[in-house]
Amino acid sequence: MNTTSTSRVSREERREAILDAARRHFVSNGYHGTGMDDVASTLGLSKPIVYQYFSSKHDLYLAVLEKAGENLEETIGAVLNQPGRNRDIVQTSVRAFFEFVADDMQYYRLLFDSDMLDDVDAAERVEEVTSAVVERIANHISSDTGLAAPHAQVLASSVVGASESAAKAWLRTSQSELDIDTASDLIAGMMWSGLRALPAQS
């Protein structure tokens, strides 16, 4: 018997199990190809039980999207909180994006490669996550260089956009010929060649 359906499972544990099952279905089949009954049957639950936790498939999707955003923010935040030279920070930040898109949980597909990006609520969640990551990087750039916030924001947006695009392109086409270290170092080197020209804050 699937232990997820027993009464011994706490409400929070069951909610997390539903989110994980939903993530796998949304990643594999997209939003439109996934039904609440798919998520329920994966866990050995009845569909009404899933509806006790999430009022609709859209509500469930947004909750999974929130988990994806938290995962990315935590990944980038951990890198930026580490001590080290700015060149090392750039390198590890880019590597973090590559690891994020290569992760087996495939959260990146929900944030950047989903069939729901034209949904207003989903797009808003993705924008919130992207803005939070950009803000973290911009603050780091500003504190090191003394650049005004608008300038740092533009640079941070470039870092995020380039890292995301390059990591997705690498994942789709180049893994067999370019390992993750070489690929991420290549992009980080390009970024650093521009960022190092900025004057450091004395």
Q: How far apart are the C-alpha atoms of 183 and 5, rounded to whole Å?
A: 43
Q: How far apart are the C-alpha atoms of 69 and 86, rounded to whole Å?
A: 25
pLDDT greater than 60 at residue 38: yes
The pLDDT, as a whole number, for residue 114 is: 85
Q: What integer is the mean pLDDT of 5-24?
A: 86
* Contact (CB, 8 A) for 132 and 73: yes
- Of the spans 28-32, 96-100, 194-198, which averages the highest pLDDT? 28-32
Structure tokens of 149?
A: 């916030």
Higher-scoring residue by pLDDT: 3, 115:
115
* Contact (CB, 8 A) for 71 and 107: yes
Mean per-residue pLDDT over the chain, rounded: 86
pLDDT greater than 80 at residue 30: yes
Give me the residue label for tokens 């804050």.
201
Higher-scoring residue by pLDDT: 13, 7:
13
Q: How far is CA 156 from the centre of its chain?
A: 16
Structure tokens of 172?
A: 């789709």
The pLDDT, as a whole number, for residue 199 is: 57
Coarse DSSP helix, strand, coil percentages of the chain, rounded to the nearest 5 percent:
75, 0, 25
Q: How far apart are the C-alpha atoms of 90 and 188, rounded to whole Å?
A: 6
pLDDT greater than 80 at residue 115: yes
- pLDDT tens-digit readout, 127-149: 999 999 999 888 887 877 788 88
* Lowest mean pLDDT segment, chosen from 18-32, 39-53, 144-158: 144-158
